[in-house]
Amino acid sequence: MPIETWLTFVLGFMIIGSIVALELKDILSSIISIGVVGLGVSVAFLFLQAPDLAIVQFLFEIFAIIILVKVFIKKDYHYEEPSRINKMLIGVTVITLAVIFIFSISVFKNIPPFGEPLLHTSKYYLENGAGDTGAANLVSSIILDYRAYDTLGEVTVLFTAILGSVTVLRLSIRKNKNKE
């Protein structure tokens, strides 16, 4: 089978999974559905010849599910009764997004068909990457040699996000301890 058929199947599966995740009433079921969508992304990366990304996406998906389940599992999910305003909001949103989708079709007609890469700068990386850096994995050579600034910024963002989360939660834990 050609790769387009497989990708269409996986993407349709992901769309159905995300709609199910958003519409379910139970919070545990919707978190698990999001996990299914993330594993679909991982499979799509494998079809698109990106094994690096498939490994990282798979592991991070497991990690995100564990975080979400561990924090939100014991909460009683209060059922929100559908009010008239909410129904109107849903209707207006769906109509607006459908209009955006119809107008965007002409935009997608203008980009080259699937299977022809758009970026031409990377020809240099493919031809000279191994000679310049000495690494066989070209993705690794890009993120750690050609674009190491990018990685430095990324590590800084990760550090800041973790610092924020630790600061927000540690205050409350300490307060509880003082009360005891």
Q: How far is the CB of 84 from other proteins (least distance, A)?
A: 14
DSSP 143: I
Rg of the chain (C-alpha set): 22
Task: Tell me which of 29, 95, 128, 170 binds other proteins, using CB under 8 A.
Answer: 170
Name the residue nearer to other proteins (CB basis): 75 or 84: 75
The answer to whether 28 contacts other proteins (rule: CB under 8 A) is no
Structure tokens at 126: 């493919």
Find tokens 């379910």 and name the residue: 24
Q: How far is the CB of 159 from other proteins (least distance, A)?
A: 6
Contacts of 29 (CB under 8 A, 6+ apart): 21
Q: Which long-range contacts (CB under 8 A, 24 or more apart) does 5-13 make?
A: 6/47, 7/44, 7/47, 7/48, 10/40, 10/43, 10/44, 10/47, 11/40, 11/44, 13/40
Enumerate residues 54-93 that contact other proteins by CB under 8 A: 54-57, 59-60, 62-64, 66-68, 70-72, 74-75, 77-78, 80, 86, 89-90, 93
Task: Tell me which of 26, 84, 106, 126 binds other proteins, using CB under 8 A.
Answer: 126
The answer to whether 168 contacts other proteins (rule: CB under 8 A) is yes
CB atoms within 10 A of CB 145: 14
The answer to whether 1 contacts other proteins (rule: CB under 8 A) is no
Structure tokens at 154: 């990324």
Task: Tell me which of 1, 81, 101, 103 binds other proteins, using CB under 8 A.
Answer: 101
The answer to whether 22 contacts other proteins (rule: CB under 8 A) is yes
Task: Tell me which of 26, 81, 106, 116 binds other proteins, using CB under 8 A.
Answer: 116
